Structures are given as C-alpha cells and as structure tokens.
Amino acid sequence: MRTTTVVIGAGHAGLAMSHCLTERSIDHVVLERGEVANTWKTERWDSLRLLTPNWQSRLPGFGYEGDDPDGFRDMSETISFIERYAEVISAPIRTHTSVSSVRARNGGYVVDTDRGGWQAKTVVVASGACAVPNVPALAVAIPTGIEQITPKEYRNPDQIADGGVMVVGASSTGTQIAAELQRSGRQVTLSVGEHVRVPRVYRGRDIKWWMDRCGVLDEGYEAYDNLERVRNLPSLQLAGSNDRRTVDLNSLTDLGVKLIGRLAGITGGKAQFSGSLPNLASLADLKMNRLLNTIDEWVAQNALESVVEPAQRFETTRVDASPPLGMDLASGEIRTIVWATGFRPDHSWIDLPVFDRKGRLEHEGGVVEAPGVYVMGLPFQRRRKSSLIDGAADDATDLSAHLTTLLSGGGPAAA
C-alpha cells in the first residue's frame, strides 16, 4: 500500500498531526496497534484524572465542549475526548495494526506492520513518550519475597498485598500512587529523588493557568543550551482532583507517608538510601519559589494585583533531620515496591541510523535527521508543553509545515 505520510500512533499527538495533514491535503494514514486512545485505555490506573484542567486540552480544530473548564477529566472522560476528536477530524485510522519496522527505501520509507506493509514518503512517529516504565538496574537485587509493580500495570490498591509499600520516585505518578496506597491503609515509604514541587492553586488560580499565561509552557527549545537537562526534568508533583488539593511532600507527610532519600543501592538484601534528601527538598522549594516569583512579576507587570489574591509563600518541605539510610528488605516491613521512576519511549522498531549513543531518538525540535521522519510528543521536543495534550497543536502545526515544504521540494533524499 502507498501513501504520502504514515503516522504511527493514534493518541492525541498522532491525531493532531493527522488533522494538520488533512488541512494541508496531504494523503496519509494513522496506524494504531490497539484502538484510539489506547494508552489511556490500557496503561493508566483507575483513579487517575488528568492533571491539566479541561480548558487546557486544546487540540487543533477542537477545544473543550463541556461546562466545567476548570475541572479535571477522569479516564473515561479522557478516552471519550480523544475518541471524539478522532471522529470530528475524520482521521484515516487503521486500528489493530502494529508497526514492526520503519526502513528507508527508494528515497522514502517502508513501514511494516502485522497487516501488510506501507510505502510512504514521510513518517511521523507518535507512538508515545511514556511507552516503557523505567525500572532501575538495581531492581534485580530486590529479594524475591517482595512484589514489584510499575505504574503501567498498577490499577488500584486491591492489586497490592496488605502490608508496607515502598514507592520509588516522587513525581506526578509516584506522589499520586503513594497517597492512594497510604489512604488504603498501607504504610507507604516514599523514596524521594529529584522532584519538582508546585502548588495546585496559587493566588486563587490554577497553577497551569498561570504557567500558560506567563508563557512558561510556550518556552522554546532553542532558548536552552542545556537541552539534555530540561528534557530529563521529572514531571511536576501535581494531580487533578475535584477538591484541587496540592500533592507535595508535606501533604504526603500529613497523610502518614514516610519520606526517605533516593534509593541508591541494594546489598545483601538491604536497601541503601541517599543522604541527599534535605538538599533535594530545598532545591525543589527554591525552584518552586522561582516559579512563583515569575508569576508575581507577571501579575505586577500586568497590574492585576487587585484582581487576584495576594502573593503567598508555602511552608518549606519538612524532612526528618536524619531519615533512615538503610532498610532490611528481608524484615517483611515492605511487601511491595512500586517503581514510579519515570517512563521512556519505545522506538526499537525504527530501523534507521537516528539514535544517539544512549539509544535515544535524535531530533531537532521533532525533525529527525532521516529526511521526512518526524516525531511528536517527546518531552520539551519543541516547547516546554510538547509532551502535554496542549502542546500537540503547535508542534503538529510546525512539523506539518516542515513536512509540506520538504514534499514540495521534490521529496526526501534516501536516508
């Protein structure tokens, strides 16, 4: 089969790209191994809500239709939202079609699937930035009696053995799962590495509203000389809930969660934790205050003091003076370990020389070096918001424009 562009993945990112290609009359197909919004249907836990408010899921040609712009969608609402988008834009989707390889041929690409191959001039990889949960190498040393689970498999507390849980990782996923398991009556110990703290609500408005207004989310990748660092920043400690509560380390401590340092090693069945917790907590506090300063400055510049609530600073993160540095994993205190240690994409099926020495897809703002190959949805790929639903519109617009120019130049040269 032949087409001009093959888009791989029918999450919001692939769909946004499909819409932009349709607008530009570029013949294309969207290949999806499962169904539309597959990741949201099969890889998320039951209680999850989007951490971005409803108004903030702005896809190209499609905005929020309901009457609760400040609410947070649960999983079924998120799925219907993406399904509805696919319908509204009439995306040419082939579901249950799994891509097994992308190869260069005759100045274009061959995309192999379990339902036949495609020949295309250009390829857009929109297979998701969070395809594989990271599990640190030291996990192999965890004693066998302890169950291990990743957020991709975690659904709800009923899955988890009674008894203590260690959640490793204190970003968006880790803090939410830690809170849920602690509320379920289990003692949770949260191992805290580098993290980004933000309040849910500041000066009476949602933090995402402020970040949107102040332009923080639109910051472009060109402005950063150390892209490696910003692309690897952990997700915000943030969750969507009806009561708009903040999930930071202090709120978890109040729930009864025990905070310990970063899991640094396991020897002879004993876990060792880093002594860096006080510094990581203070780095996160300082960084949060810099964001709040940015917001305050923006308020002042726009003379909005009378419209919004007064500026405020939050209690610094409380950490024990000497949290435990070790834990005997054989003692039975911990029955389950949850690896909330981030995610990475799976691009293993791309058979092109486009990877860096650490096996990561190399790209310049989503433009891959193999001419005509693009990627969507990676962290900070063009803008701070690139990996968010709200980031797809601008990125798809830019990249579809690039793709169109390339096609009008006579088609890509062989890679």
Partner 1 sequence: METATPVDNGVDVEALLGAREALTEAPEAAQFKWRASCKWINGTHSRSSVKSFFGLGEEQAHRTEFTFDADHPEVFASEDKGATPTELILAALASCLTAGVASVAQHRDIQLRSVTATLEAGMDLQGILGIDGEVRNGFDGINVHYDIDADASEEDIAAVVAQSQKRSAVYDVITNPTNVSVSVN
Ligand X SMILES: Cc1cc2nc3c(=O)[nH]c(=O)nc-3n(C[C@H](O)[C@H](O)[C@H](O)COP(=O)(O)OP(=O)(O)OC[C@H]3O[C@@H](n4cnc5c(N)ncnc54)[C@H](O)[C@@H]3O)c2cc1C
Position 407 contacts partner 1 (CB under 8 A): no
What residue type is assigned to position 298 of the chain?
W
For residue 282, the partner it binds in partner 1, ligand X, none, with Cβ less than 5 to 8 A by kind, is: partner 1
Among 42, 106, 156, 279, binds partner 1 (CB under 8 A): 279
Question: Can you give the binding site for ligand X, defined by CB under 6 A?
Answer: 8-14, 31-34, 38-39, 44, 50-52, 98-99, 126-130, 173, 343, 349, 376-377, 387-390
d(CA 281, CA 196): 9
**Smaller CB distance to ligand X: residue 44 or 121?**
44
Q: How far is the CB of 150 from ligand X (least distance, A)?
A: 11
Stretch that binds partner 1, among 106-114, 145-153, 207-215, 264-272 (CB under 8 A): 264-272
For residue 264, the partner it binds in ligand X, partner 1, none, with Cβ less than 5 to 8 A by kind, is: partner 1
Q: How far is the CB of 74 from ligand X (least distance, A)?
A: 11
Position 95 contacts partner 1 (CB under 8 A): no
Among 184, 251, 289, 294, binds partner 1 (CB under 8 A): 289
Window 203-232: residues binding partner 1 (CB under 8 A): 228
Position 265 contacts partner 1 (CB under 8 A): yes
Position 256 contacts partner 1 (CB under 8 A): no
For residue 357, the partner it binds in partner 1, ligand X, none, with Cβ less than 5 to 8 A by kind, is: partner 1
Comparing CA positions, the residue from 352, 380, 351 lying closest to residue 364 is 380
Comparing CA positions, the residue from 53, 388, 50, 386 lying closest to residue 210 is 53
**Smaller CB distance to partner 1: residue 320 or 346?**
320
d(CA 21, CA 17): 6
**Smaller CB distance to partner 1: residue 92 or 143?**
143
For residue 272, the partner it binds in ligand X, partner 1, none, with Cβ less than 5 to 8 A by kind, is: partner 1
Q: How far is the CB of 310 from ligand X (least distance, A)?
A: 29
The contact mask relative to partner 1 for 309-348 (x = CB under 8 A, - = no) is: ------------xx--------------------------
Q: How far is the CB of 237 from partner 1 (least distance, A)?
A: 17
Total interface residues for partner 1 by CB under 8 A: 19
For residue 8, the partner it binds in ligand X, partner 1, none, with Cβ less than 5 to 8 A by kind, is: ligand X
Q: How far is the CB of 40 from partner 1 (least distance, A)?
A: 35
Q: How far is the CB of 219 from ligand X (least distance, A)?
A: 16
The three-state DSSP-derived secondary structure of the chain is CEEEEEEECCCHHHHHHHHHHHHCCCCEEEECCCCCCHHHHHCCCCCCECCCCHHHCCECCECCCCCCCCCCCEHHHHHHHHHHHHHHCCCCEECCCCEEEEEEECCEEEEEEECEEEEEEEEEECCCCCCEECCCHHHHHCCCCCEEECCCCCCCHHHCCCCEEEEECCCHHHHHHHHHHHHCCCCEEEECCCCEECCCEECCEEHHHHHHHCCHHHCEHHHCCCHHHHHCCCCEECCCCCCCCCCCHHHHHHHCCEEECCEEEEECCEEEECCCHHHHHHHHHHHHHHHHHHHHHHHHHCCCCCCCCCCCCCCCCCCCCCCCCEEEHHHCCEEEEEECCCEECCCCCECCCCECCCCCECEECCEECCCCEEECCCCCCCECCCCCHHHHHHHHHHHHHHHHHHHHCCCCCCC
**Residues shown for the chain:** 415
Position 106 contacts partner 1 (CB under 8 A): no
**Smaller CB distance to ligand X: residue 130 or 266?**
130
List of residues contacting partner 1 (CB under 8 A) = 228, 261-262, 264-265, 267, 272, 274-276, 279, 282-283, 286, 289-290, 321-322, 357
